[in-house]
Amino acid sequence: MASQASLLLQKQLKDLCKNPVDGFSAGLVDDNNIFEWSVTIIGPPDTLYEGGFFNAIMSFPPNYPNSPPTMKFTTEIWHPNGIPLSVHNLVPSSDARINMIFNVFAVYPDGRVCISILHPPGDDPNGYELASERWMPVHTVESIVLSIISMLSSPNDESPANVEAAKEWRDRKDEFKRKVGRCVRRSQEML
């Protein structure tokens, strides 16, 4: 008998296949595992990331949607709100729909994505986020990925996870653009 989580994920996958969303594609890593998805974010148009293909793995817990999935990039990204990701450190393997609040977007050195809506539901034990900014069972693969695309489109250098990228964004735009361009080219080469 299928669990509530697997039924919901099957429905979300079917909906995304039937009605693809501009800006990303998603599918299963393995057809026998509904709990692990492969996601490719297409660099947003009219941004420095345009033309890039940024791959990630989204893993869902058995009690989804009561608990959030995790997301891990497998492609290098240079962004003020992301901590540098080295491809060598990886383990192999204005849209109305974006009406949620999110404060934090970071990519840890191992590629894990940190964004408020993927933090466990409830109050933040550190007091940085409101409960309304954290995971809610109404979020879907689509809302999560669209939130990340929005952050790629609008870097926040006021609250950077990657201080070096934020300084470059503000003070040395040419260097910042060069590094992002390198990430975009590398992502294209990985196709």
Catalytic residue ranges: 114
Distance, in Å, from the CA atom of 66 to the CA atom of 143, rounded to the nearest integer, reads 15
Integer Cα distance of 85 and 168 in angstroms: 17
H-assigned helices in 37-172: 141-153, 163-171
Strand-pair partners of 67: none
Q: Contact 184/49 with Cβ under 8 angstroms?
A: yes
Q: Give the residue among 48, 56, 36 at the shortest CA–CA distance from 147.
A: 56
